[in-house]
Amino acid sequence: MIDNIEFTHQQARAFQPQRLSAPRDFMIPKIISDNKDEKPLILEIGAGKGKHALSFALQNPDKHLIAIERTRNKFDAFSKLATLQDLSNLDAIHADAIAWTVHALKPNSVAKIFILYPNPEQHNPNQQWLNMPFFEFLLSRLQVGGEIILATNIQSYMDNAEHQAAKLWCLPNNRYRVPVDSQRTHFEVKYLARQEVCWELSIRKPKWYKTRFDNWQA
Ligand SMILES: C[S@@+](CC[C@H](N)C(=O)[O-])C[C@H]1O[C@@H](n2cnc3c(N)ncnc32)[C@H](O)[C@@H]1O
C-alpha cells in the first residue's frame, strides 16, 4: 500500500482490505474478466428481494448489474425471481458486499453504485456507509465520472451522508427528494405509501480523485 501520497479526502483511518477473507463459495462473475461488449458495470449493495435489480437489468440491457444481498431469506427470494427472469446482464450475489467488493472488483471499474435504503444503523453510526473506512475502498472501485446513489427515509442518515460526502470525502454531491410515485424498491414503496419523505444523494467521482487503494487488487 502507498503511504505517502496525498489523498483527496480527509479520512485518516485506513480500511484494511488484506484482512478480509473471500466470501464463502466466492466466484468472480464472468463479466469481470470477460466484458466483451464493454458494458458499463453497475453495482447494487443491499439489493433485498431484488425489486430494483430485476427492473433495472430489464430496462438497461446495455449495462451489466451485479446486485449483492447478504441476508439469506431475502437473497433466496431475489435469486428465485432472477432465475425466472433469466437476464444475461444481471448477477445476483449472496455475500457481504464489503468482502465481495474487496475480492472481486478491479480499481476504477464500476460506472454506478446503488445503495438503496440501507439499514439505518442509528445505534451504530460507524456502520453507516459514508462513515466507514471501507467507503474509501468503494470509491477506488468507482470509475472517474462514476456515480453513487444513496437513498434513505431517515433524515439524520441523509444529513450525515451529505455532510460526510462533502467534508470527509470531498466529493461533489447533490441531494434530492425522491418523487412520491417512485417504486424502485420494496422499502421505497413502503415508506412513500406511509407518506414519509425519502431522500436521494448523488455523489460523483471527479477526475483528480485519489485514494489509498487506486492500485490495490486482491
Ligand atoms: C433496509 S434493507 C433494503 C433492501 C432494498 N434495498 C430495498 O430498498 O427494499 C437493507 C438491506 O441491505 C442488506 N445489507 C446490509 N449490509 C449489507 C452488506 N454489507 N452486504 C450485503 N447486503 C447488505 C441487508 O441484508 C438488507 O436486506
Confidence class of residue 3 from pLDDT cuts 50, 70 and 90? very low
* Residue numbers of the domain that contains 116: 96-204
Going by CA atoms, what residue is nearest to atom 14 of ligand 1? 46
> Quick check: is 142 in a domain?
yes
Lowest model confidence (mean pLDDT) among 32-36, 113-117, 131-135: 32-36
For residue 115, give the ligand 1 atom closest to its CA. Answer: 6
3-state secondary structure of 31: helix
Residue count (the chain): 218
Residue 30 located in a structural domain: no
Q: Rounded distance, CA 18 to CA 186, Å?
A: 35
Residue 128 belongs to some domain of the structure: yes
- The three-class DSSP label of residue 148 is strand
The answer to whether residues 101 and 137 touch, using CB atoms and an 8 Å cutoff, is: yes
User: How remote is the CA of residue 16 from the centroid of ligand 1, in Å?
Assistant: 22
CATH number of residue 100's parent domain? 3.40.50.150
ipTM value: 0.99
154 alpha carbon – ligand 1 mean position (Å): 15
**In the predicted structure, residue 1 carries a pLDDT above the cut 60:** no
Predicted pLDDT of residue 182 = 98
Enumerate long-range contacts of 78-87, CB under 8 Å, 24 or more apart: 78/47, 78/48, 78/49, 78/50, 78/53, 78/54, 79/50, 81/49, 81/50, 81/54, 82/50, 82/53, 82/54, 85/54, 85/57, 85/58, 87/54, 87/57, 87/58
12 occurs within a structural domain? no
151 Cα–ligand 1 center, Å: 12
Atom index in ligand 1 nearest the CA of residue 71 equals 25
Could you tell me which residues are beta bridge partners of residue 92? 67
Query: Ligand 1 pocket: which residues have CB below 6 Å?
Result: 45-48, 68-71, 74, 96-98, 116-119, 185-188
What are the pLDDT digits (tens) for 82-103? 999 999 999 999 999 999 999 9
For the chain, the average pLDDT equals 95
Q: Does 7 or 185 have the greater pLDDT score?
A: 185
pLDDT in tens, 204-215: 999 999 999 999
**Position 6 pLDDT exceeds 80:** no
Domains in the chain, number: 1
Atom of ligand 1 nearest to the CA of 51: 9
